[in-house]
Amino acid sequence: MDLTDFITVTDFCKSHRISQALIIEFKDYGLVEIIERKDALYIPIAELPKAEKILRLHSELDINLEGIEVITQLLNRLEEMQNEMTRLQNRLGLYE
């Protein structure tokens, strides 16, 4: 595993001044992917925007993890539907 594509959970927590337990909780709720390697926990770089978004929802809006889980699912569905709508709009051009 190339560790340049990962950030340690310790660094992430230090940078955001949060406890490691919170990130583990995010993981337990299936909100963020965490990988264990060489006795340390890592977050893939690609997961960072998602992890930070969850953190913002949690700290700025006081939303609990159950709420974030629901919001995340709905946002994913919204994104899928928006993509589908764009795809269909593009196809509609064929019949105009």
Partner 1 sequence: MFNFITNSEHKSMEYIDYYKILGISKSATSKEIKSAYRKLARKYHPDVNPNDKTAEQKFKEVNEANEVLSDPEKRKKYDQYGEQYGKDWQHGEEFEKARKAQGQRRSSRQYAGGFEGQDFGGGDFSDFFESMFGGGGFSGGGRQVKFRGQDFNAELRLQLRDAYTTQKQTLTVNGKNIRITIPAGIENGQTIKIAGHGGPGRNGGPKGDLYITFSIENNTDFKRDGNNLYKNIDLDLYTAILGGELTINTFDGMAKLKVKPETQNGSTVKLKGKGFPVYKKEGKFGDLFITYNVKTPTKLSAQEKELFKQLASLKK
Nearest approach, Cβ of residue 38 and partner 1 (Å)? 26
Per DSSP, 37 falls in state E
Q: How long a stretch of residues is the chain?
A: 96
Question: In angstroms, rounded to a whole number, what is the distance separating the alpha carbons of residues 15 and 38?
Answer: 21
Six-digit token string for 41? 């926990």
Give Cα separations from 82 to 26, 46, 53, 59, 88 (angstroms): 26, 22, 20, 28, 10
Residues 1-20 contacting partner 1, CB under 8 A = 15-18
- Residue window 19-48: x/- pattern of binding to partner 1, with contact defined by CB under 8 A: ------------------------------
By beta-carbon proximity to partner 1, the closer residue of 38 and 94 is 94
The site for partner 1 (CB under 8 A) is made up of: 15-18, 49, 52-53, 55-57, 59-63, 71, 75, 78-79, 82-83, 86-87, 89-91, 93-94
